[in-house]
Structure 1
Amino acid sequence: MFDARLRPLIDPPLNRLGRILAGWGVTANTLTFAGLALGLGGAAAIAFGQFALGLALILVNRLFDGLDGAVARVHGPTALGGYFDIVADFAFYVSIPLAFGLFDPANTQAALVLVASFVLTGVSFLAFAVIAAERGAETTAHGKKSFFYSTGLAEGGETIAVFTAFALLPAWFVPIAYGYAGLCLLTVFQRSALAVIQFRD
């Protein structure tokens, strides 16, 4: 919901740093995999109750996620890079609720519901992208991407805000997780309604 509005603020500094990193020979895929490793490290820290460390690694993961795109824009995005980026994103996203479920069995049911909502959101996102690409649709609302990004109520910015709340308020994991799972499901319905409008033959 907020990602497209944040892009004009975060893209200029990311692009400047991306040009520097590209000049040093750093590749976008290297940043993608390094960011994934850091994000999974954050999940592991949370699973052991190290919430401050987990949050720090989550935020660094998101920085790397922005930088891999900035570096890719220097050399030109690739299909393989786009594939690695989205797989790394969803691996990271599901790891955080999983970590809270491992930390405290009382969180398990809410964590499973949130992961399921992430799966449904991801399926709707990718299905929309595939069909939009077949129809030649394009958008730059989220910056230049290797495939079509459809807007939704629950996007990256909202997810990171929720993960931050989890780490700062771990005792509130269950209600926050259920609430955000509901927002993810609303996103699926929203995207499906948009598909009905745009993909009707």
Structure 2
Amino acid sequence: MFDARLRPLIDPPLNRLGQALAGMGVSANMVTLAGMVLGLGAGAAMAFGHFGLGLALVIANRLLDGLDGAIARATRLTDWGGYFDIVADFVFYVAVPVGFALQSPDNLLPGVLLIASFTLTGTSFLAFATIAAKRGLETSAHGRKSFFYNTGLAEGGETIAAFVAMSLLPAHFPQIAYAYAALCGATVVQRTLVARATFRQTP
């Protein structure tokens, strides 16, 4: 919901850093891989109750997620890079709630529901992107991307805010997870309505 509004603020410094790293020979895929490893580490830290470390790894993961795109834009966008980036994103999105679910039996049900909601939002996002590409639709609301990014109520910024809240208030993970799973469900409904209005038109 807020990602498109944040892009004009975060893209300029990220692009400058991305250009510098690209000049040093750092590849976007190397950064994506490093970010995915840190994301898995965040989930492991949550599972063992090291919430401060987990929070630091969440923030580091998101920084690298922004940098890989900046490096790609400074060099060239590739289909493989776009694929790898979205897979690494969802590895991270799943790792954190899995970590919380393993940390306490009380977190198991809300963790499972949160992961299920991520599965549905991811499906709606990627299905929309696939058909949008088929129809030649484009958007620059989220910057230059390898495929169509459809805006939703629950996006990257909101997910990170939820993960930060969970890390700072781990005892309230169930309440935060239930609330965010509901927002993800609303996002699926929203995207479905947009898809219905967009794709019912014969191209």
TM-score by length of 1: 0.99
Offset from partner CA, 1:107-136 (integer Å, 9 cap, x none): 000000000000000000000000000000
- Counterpart residue identity of residue 123, structure 1: T
Amino acid at match of 2:43: A
2:178 aligned with 1:182, yes or no? Answer: no
1:76, distance to aligned residue in structure 2 (A): 1.5
Amino acid at match of 1:188: V
Deviation at residue 51 of structure 1 after TM alignment = 0.3
Deviations 1:74-125 (A, max 9, x none): 1111000000000000010011011001000110000000000000000000
Question: Counterpart of 2:143 in 1: which secondary structure?
Answer: coil
1:10 maps to 2:10: yes
The secondary structure found in structure 2 opposite 1:17 is helix
Cα shift at 1:43? 1.0
Runs of 4+ off more than 4 Å: none
Cα RMSD after superposing both structures:
0.5
Cα distance in 2 for residues equivalent to 1:136 and 1:159: 29
Quote the residue 1:107 is aligned against: 107
Aligned to 2:165: 165
- For residues 18-167 of structure 1, what are the structure 2 equivalents within 5 Å? 18-167=18-167
SS at match of 2:147: coil
Whole-angstrom distance in 2 between the partners of 1:68 and 1:15: 10
* SS of 1:145 mapped into structure 2: coil
SS at match of 2:102: helix
Q: Which blocks of at least 5 consecutive residues in structure 2 are unaligned?
A: none
Q: Counterpart amino acid of 2:95?
A: S
TM-score (norm 2): 0.98
* Deviation for aligned residue 1:42: 1.2
Partner Cα separation in structure 2 for residue 42 and residue 107 of structure 1: 16
Q: Report the count of equivalent residues.
A: 201
Judge conservation of contact 2:39–2:91 (CA < 8 Å) in 1: no
Cα deviation 1:8-43 (Å, max 9, x = unaligned): 000000000000000000000000000010111111
* Structure 2 counterpart SS, 1:64: helix
| Paired AA for residue 12 in structure 1 | P
Matches of 2:176 and 2:26, distance apart in 1: 37
Counterpart code for 2:36 = L
Amino acid at match of 2:186: L
Q: CA–CA distance in 2 between the matches of 1:121 and 1:41?
A: 23
The whole-number CA distance in structure 1 between the counterparts of 2:180 and 2:94 is 13
Kindly provide the amino acid, as one letter, of the partner of residue 124 in structure 1.
Answer: S
The one-character-per-residue Cα deviations of 1:152-195 (angstroms, maximum 9, x if unpaired) are 00000000000000000001100110010000010000000000
Task: Please tell me the residue identity of whatever aligns with 1:113.
Answer: L
